[in-house]
Amino acid sequence: DTAVSQTPKYLVTQMGNDKSIKCEQNLGHDTMYWYKQDSKKFLKIMFSYNNKELIINETVPNRFSPKSPDKAHLNLHINSLELGDSAVYFCASSPRTSGSRSGANVLTFGAGSRLTVL
Amino acid sequence: AQSVTQPDIHITVSEGASLELRCNYSYGATPYLFWYVQSPGQGLQLLLKYFSGDTLVQGIKGFEAEFKRSQSSFNLRKPSVHWSDAAEYFCAVGVYGGATNKLIFGTGTLLAVQP
């Protein structure tokens, strides 16, 4: 069983379209994240959710809307896609976001979803 | 501000040779440090982490890293590289702000292995 699974793995679409990427984790973790990896391989956090509650929103355009129906799922919806949105989007999860530091920051990543906007 | 610097964008080593990938961090408190590896077309896999205690940490696949507070460094090493080690390597620092925990990544080092 894949610990953190993302779908789709590849997504090619036209500018202006709306698309979603889904993420599910079966690790029982409380916290989930979306990271964006640009064409230069730079990884930057976009959002984090803890038990369905938005914790981090790192100055991401409001065309990006994460949704967490339960703590095992964190989906990313993108409206009005632009060329600059082309990237690999990684979902990740970690045990918890507060309290003891020892487990909170060990992230488990999904395999990534490569989005290409034409 | 917290940051991670990986000075080497690209490194090529011969199979069987030793490897050291450099990582420097900037963080006001005691850092939590990580090395992740990304194979082509794959997600990121945790190689090792440093939280506290012994400054030399062992990881998977024969990798180790040494935390040096005086140099703000956390370099990754392997005594003998295998062709399967060719990948992108990312150093990261864990940042805490109450409930807002996250990883800040360096820009990565691409490792190529020559036969």
The residue among B10 and A40 whose pLDDT is bigger is B10
Helix (H) or strand (E) run with residue B32 in it: strand B32-38
| Cβ-defined contact of A105 to B42 (cutoff 8 Å) | no
- pLDDT at B97 (0 to 100): 65
| Cβ-defined contact of B99 to A97 (cutoff 8 Å) | yes
> Does residue A97 have a pLDDT over 70?
no
Q: Which two tokens stand for residue A82?
A: 């632009």
Q: What is the pLDDT of residues B37-94, one digit of tens each?
A: 999 878 899 999 998 888 999 999 999 999 999 999 999 999 999 999 999 999 999 8
| Cβ-defined contact of B32 to A31 (cutoff 8 Å) | no
% of chain A exceeding 70 in pLDDT:
92
d(CA B76, CA B48): 9
> Mapping DSSP to helix (H, G, I), strand (E, B) and coil, where does residue A101 land?
helix
> Could you tell me the sign of the dihedral formed by the alpha carbons of A76, A77, A79, A85, in that order?
positive
The DSSP string of A36-77 is EE-TT--EEEEEEEETTEEEEE-S--TTEEEEEEETTEEEEE
- pLDDT at A60 (0 to 100): 87
- pLDDT at A100 (0 to 100): 53
Q: What is the pLDDT of residues A10-31, one digit of tens each?
A: 999 999 999 999 999 999 998 8
Tell me phi and psi for residue B79, to 5 degrees: -70, -30
> Does residue A55 have a pLDDT over 90?
no
> Does residue A102 have a pLDDT over 60?
no
Of A6, A31, A36, A41, which to mutate for an interface test with B (greatest number of B Cβ within 10 Å)? A41
Whole-Å CA distances, B3 to A36, A75, B73, B94, B95: 17, 28, 12, 10, 10
Average pLDDT score over residue span A78-88:
96
Nearest beta carbon to residue A50 from set B44, B88, B99: B99
**Distance in Å, alpha carbon of B114 to nearest chain A alpha carbon:** 22
> Does residue A2 have a pLDDT over 80?
no
- pLDDT at A82 (0 to 100): 96
d(CA A96, CA A98): 6
> Could you tell me the sign of the dihedral formed by the alpha carbons of A26, A96, A55, A69, in that order?
positive
d(CA A65, CA A79): 8
